[in-house]
Structure 1
């Protein structure tokens, strides 16, 4: 059996084993992945965004009654011991406990925290899963970390862990993974996309650290936004154009910046070469992004891609009319909706076009 067929067989089994959690239009979920919590030292990738993460959970998601999915690589167990992580980030575990007490917390394993399943003393009481399904009107949202779509990654996980712990850590090398390799990202995303299209389901992954919404890359999302705003210009009343034109200008500037970096075509073109754009693939991104945190929210029957950022790090979004970020209290932290779509529309499109 070739690698692709074996991966699809593994995903079938993962889907069948996944527990189901019913949701409806009143449900509220936030999906995070790839925290990579460490020991609080300079080698800890979670440290730079830790305050942003803690305050967003404590002051936004918990008061608003959100349930939570932690979709893999929450602990960085390939570099640090669980004992050190639990001691350093006790406040984070307390927040998770509060979410679990008041609502629902679903925690899945990734390739960097796989050994959690063998830990005799875990710093939490909630159950650990390989994957999960949120069932919206009998439509599954299949949630798993994403490393399961790579046979090589599963087989070489121990070697990667050894390299990180005994070579990268002493040399203070940052966590290098599939997130830094666009071709590996693309290969994993393409397999999950093809699997989801064939089975007419929506899938949510992490692992690659690259936010995806409705199977679209950032460049593709910007193109769609510009096209949508151009349509809105038609038939506007006098005086309404400047606001939309300003947004188009901001999106154009951002799109040009992406192309100017001369990124691989895999990051700026049609990622999956489908005849139709089928919105089956979502990626929550990562909590350890250089410009903040990305996550997915499900609320009021819609799904949204969210960017949390620190004003000091990402001031440009405060200057661009198209985004309209929301300030978190009197902090320097902001929440911004990058994309939003109705779940009924997404599943209708999946069923009709797949």
Structure 2
């Protein structure tokens, strides 16, 4: 799962309307033994100077994360909007302890958790990897010049997007920027003969075995829907979690498979 952009539950928090959908999905994955890989931009640290604001707003989500972490099944990758987490001292300060607003005490949160730039899932049968990375790397404004983009987001775009303006430097908001970055992904995949799962653009993508093995988990900030990539039992699928009315008109969260499942081995055979 990718690009939650958890905020402080204010008007600029795009994750807040989908929190209950995410909770339902995360609990499903926990109860069914999945590993949870958060593929970048989990917390909106560009807009918010203190993680505590995000923690207070989404304690239910973080309680599920704690359960995954205690079982050794939570893997966090940093993206551009939480790129500060590439520094170990910031990871320790952010995740080792959290302030409980009810007891006014600092309590253990996720001590010892590591945050990575990428994760590789080794497919032993073929000696190849599934490479999971957020995907902002090589996007100059969101990688090399991230400090400037961070400043603009916190003090300019945070307020402008509340009233409807779109950030032209964001691939999630600009179709032109998104397509440019996706072309870069495909060139990199072809050049390196690498199966890759990314986020960053917020556009879900599921490739077929006769195509370059490029997959995108999408995001958790589309209206009333969250998308995810599932890898289970040697297969890969693109799924969505969405609020639907049942036959009685009651709203409920349902999981729907958008594409797949397809055996991962079919992509390994076709890699050039």
Common fold by TM > 0.5:
yes
| TM superposition shift of 1:331 | 6.4
Greater per-residue helix proportion:
1
Matches for 1:1-354 after TM superposition, within 5 Å: 32-58=1-27, 60-80=28-48, 81-118=50-87, 119=90, 121-123=93-95, 124-125=110-111, 126-137=113-124, 138-171=127-160, 172-173=162-163, 176=167, 177-214=170-207, 277-311=210-244, 332-340=252-260, 341-350=262-271, 354=272
Matches of 2:159 and 2:193, distance apart in 1 = 46
Question: Which structure 1 segments of 5+ residues have no match?
Answer: 1-31, 217-275, 319-329
- Alpha-carbon displacement from aligned partner over 1:235-293 (angstroms, at most 9, x marks no partner): xxxxxxxxxxxxxxxxxxxxxxxxxxxxxxxxxxxxxxxxx942310000001112400
- Alpha-carbon displacement from aligned partner over 1:145-180 (angstroms, at most 9, x marks no partner): 000032343133222222222123344346742112
| TM superposition shift of 1:103 | 4.4
Matches of 2:42 and 2:218, distance apart in 1 = 13
| TM superposition shift of 1:298 | 0.5
Contact 1:149–1:192, Cα closer than 8 Å, also in 2: no
Residue of structure 2 in register with 1:20 after alignment: none
| TM-score (normalizing by structure 2) | 0.83
Which structure: larger Rg? 1
| TM-score (normalizing by structure 1) | 0.65
Residue of structure 2 in register with 1:251 after alignment: none
Matches of 1:45 and 1:95, distance apart in 2 = 20
Structure 2 CA distance for partners of 1:277 and 1:173, relative to 1, 3 Å: farther
Number of aligned residue pairs: give it.
244
* Aligned CA-pair RMSD: 2.1
Greater per-residue strand proportion:
2
